[in-house]
């Protein structure tokens, strides 16, 4: 598997909160590096299109920002929640029982991870191993089945 077991959280959580099957996803920098490559290609277009500088700079800044986030942030699957952490400190906690749906967009070339909780929607760039993410999500949160068609109402043709 492409992920590694995690050590118990150092955030003062009770011992029962740490689970032996906790998994930390490995970082993957493909999306930030792809943005930086597009920024470089945009700069190469400057002789043909002088306005290419601004979109290229915007993509370059976003690529550098995402590269920094790839180096700093980690996703950890704990027994009861998905944890976003920086180093040993947990920044955000997403309890599984609050999740309604999740999806990895463009599975052949995964660049976005979408999930919805009861009160909010989240869209994250794919800064981690997409295969391990999908495996852990399917293990901990099976994808909801599509709704079945409703039975016909009485008296309808």
* pLDDT at position 156: 53
The CATH number corresponding to 20-140 among 3.40.1360, 2.30.29, 3.40.50, 3.40.630 equals 2.30.29
* pLDDT at position 5: 40
Do residues 26 and 135 lie in contact, with contact meaning Cβ atoms separated by under 8 Å?
A: no
Instruction: Kindly report, residue by residue over 104-144, the tens digit of the pLDDT.
Output: 888 778 889 999 999 999 999 999 999 999 999 999 987 65
Quote the pTM value: 0.70
Structure tokens at 48: 């043909």
CA 135 to CA 114: how far, in whole Å? 15
Partners of 75 in beta bridges: 84
Instruction: Kindly report, residue by residue over 19-62, the tens digit of the pLDDT.
Output: 557 899 999 999 999 999 999 999 888 877 788 889 999 999 99
Q: What are the C-alpha distances in Å from 123 to residues 18, 104, 105, 112, 120?
A: 26, 10, 10, 7, 10
């Amino acid at each position: 598997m492409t992920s590694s077991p995690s050590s118990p959280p150092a955030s003062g959580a009770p011992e029962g909160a740490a689970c032996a099957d906790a998994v930390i996803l490995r970082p993957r920098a493909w999306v930030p590096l792809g943005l930086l490559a597009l920024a470089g290609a945009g700069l190469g277009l400057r002789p043909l299109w002088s306005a290419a500088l601004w979109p290229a700079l915007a993509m370059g800044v976003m690529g550098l920002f995402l590269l920094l986030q790839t180096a700093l942030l980690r996703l950890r699957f704990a027994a009861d929640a998905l944890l976003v952490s920086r180093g040993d400190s947990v920044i955000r906690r997403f309890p599984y029982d609050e999740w309604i749906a999740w999806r990895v967009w463009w599975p052949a070339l995964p660049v976005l991870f979408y999930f919805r909780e009861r009160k909010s929607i989240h869209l994250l760039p794919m800064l981690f191993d997409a295969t391990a993410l999908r495996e852990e999500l399917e293990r901990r949160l099976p994808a909801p089945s599509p709704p079945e068609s409703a039975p016909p109402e009485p008296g309808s043709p």
